[in-house]
Structure 1
């Protein structure tokens, strides 16, 4: 739910499978920026409504693990710097 950073829960979830045009990245570093705090607090819900449960984080560095069949620009093993769609989040995942 929308709230404050103090309200965050950490849970184990199964490893996601990338969709047709998605990339699965093993996150090595993620940045906490003001947008993450505003998303969690609900200040941006009119622009970026979140579906809960939601994994915070939009800025990351990591290695591509898997790609969907329509992805042609990166492949497993590539190191990437990325920014997720704010409504999708995910950079704070393991």
Structure 2
């Protein structure tokens, strides 16, 4: 499970850092901030998501500015799945 999280975070960071300096930057209208991944609560973090305390908060902050990035969409889906599994186990 943790290896999946690591791979997703590495892919996300690589995707976000891979943008070219002369590439068109998104406008402020695209960055909806707190609307990223609304089905997964900001706190507490999804069960089993964090390798280190604060990982979920950092991902939320980064993806709030890049919410339509494929990596962020994948991280949101993963967080939602972790919450679904937690609820199903209860």
TM-score under structure 1 length normalisation: 0.28
Higher strand content, 1 or 2:
1
- Structure possessing the higher relative contact order (Cα contacts under 8 Å, 6 or more residues apart): 2
TM-score, scaled relative to structure 2: 0.28
Higher helix share: 2
